[in-house]
Amino acid sequence: QSALTQPASVSGSPGQSITISCAGTSSDVGGYNYVSWYQQNPGKAPKLMIYEVINRPSGVSNRFSGSKSGNTASLIISGLQTEDEAHYYCSSYSPNRILVFGGGTKLTVL
Amino acid sequence: EVQLVESGGVLVQPGGSLRLSCAASGFSFSRYSMKWVRQAPGKGLEWVSHITGSSSTIYYADSVKGRFTVSRDNAKNSLYLQMNSLRDEDTALYYCGRDSGYGGGIDVWGPGTMVTVSS
């Protein structure tokens, strides 16, 4: 059982927007602005997409954005493209466990 | 080019030992904390260990505490994970990652090295 809770799957059509949630507690997601999001394609290493809840690393499309409300963080992908189909993982700093991950969400672009 | 490359993953029997290595290049290795993260086949990501740039602070996940030891050699730009008393549940792809400095996120990942624990 993962420390952070994500939906197992989400789907959307090209051009649409989708949101992936990441639910934690006040001891991790809710207590710190240290949520990151990763994209993982089959057979590849994860890629950092969002850090510190809302920030995008250089080179990441501005179609990807992040937010947080209380103990739940969200990854929003706008203008869905077929190349966005992948697994997405959230992570958060946690003083007790240093880094906790969500169980991952498979995004299907229909 | 910033790069991490893991090595050392093999098939090992339960109770056995293994040492993973991670070679870093393209950045000032000693300035960064580093992490090990693993992914069991078909499963999600699990943080394993964290080590600061000077090796002054080290953390482990409860699942590996007392069995795994992380270390680094900044002169060789290398990170290591000594794995003892291996169990079936340690079977996974092991990634090394560079701590971004922003709340523990990982901004650079290696391709991973596969560890299989089986008799």
Write the pLDDT tens digit of every residue in B11-67.
999 999 999 999 999 999 999 999 999 999 999 999 999 999 999 999 999 999 999
pLDDT at A94: 87
Give the pLDDT band of residue B82 (cuts 50, 70, 90).
very high
What is the token pair recorded at A36?
A: 């990151």
Three-point CA angle A25, A52, B27, nearest 5° = 130
pLDDT at A2: 66
pLDDT at A3: 84
- A vs B, Cβ pairs < 8 A, gives 73
- Do the Cβ atoms of A38 and B45 come within 8 Å? yes
Average pLDDT over residues B68-95: 98
Q: Which residues of A45-74 are buried (b: 16+ CB within 10 A; e: fewer)?
A: bbbbbbbbbebbbeebeeebbbebeebbbb
Q: How far apart are CA A33 and CA B27, in angstroms?
A: 26
* Tens digit of pLDDT at every position of chain A (110 positions): 668 999 999 999 999 999 999 999 999 999 999 999 999 999 999 999 999 999 999 999 999 999 999 999 999 999 999 999 999 999 999 887 689 999 999 999 99
Looking at the DSSP bridge assignments, the partners of residue B91 are: none
Residue A29 near residue B98 (C-beta atoms within 8 A): no
- Mean model confidence pLDDT for chain A: 95
A32 contacts on B by Cβ (under 8 Å): 103
pLDDT at A101: 95
pLDDT at A14: 96
Q: Identify the helix (H) or strand (E) that includes residue A11.
A: strand A9-12
pLDDT at B101 over 90: no
- Do the Cβ atoms of B104 and A2 come within 8 Å? no
B101 contacts on A by Cβ (under 8 Å): none
Question: Nearest CA to CA, how far is B75 from chain A (Å)?
Answer: 26
Which residues are CB-contacts of B87 (< 8 A; sequence separation ≥ 6)?
A: B14, B117
Q: Which of A35, A38, A98 sits opposite B50 (nearest CB)?
A: A98
- Do the Cβ atoms of B61 and A97 come within 8 Å? yes
- Do the Cβ atoms of B95 and A45 come within 8 Å? yes
CA-CA-CA-CA dihedral for A54, A57, A59, A60, to nearest 10 = -30
Q: Is A101 exposed, middle or buried (0-12, 13-18, 19+ CB in 10 A)?
A: buried
Q: Which of A2, A52, A57 sits opposite B103 (nearest CB)?
A: A52
Average pLDDT over residues B78-96: 98
Q: In terms of residues, how long is chain A?
A: 110
- Do the Cβ atoms of B47 and A97 come within 8 Å? yes
What is the token pair recorded at B1?
A: 């080019």
Three-point CA angle B112, B113, B114, nearest 5° = 125
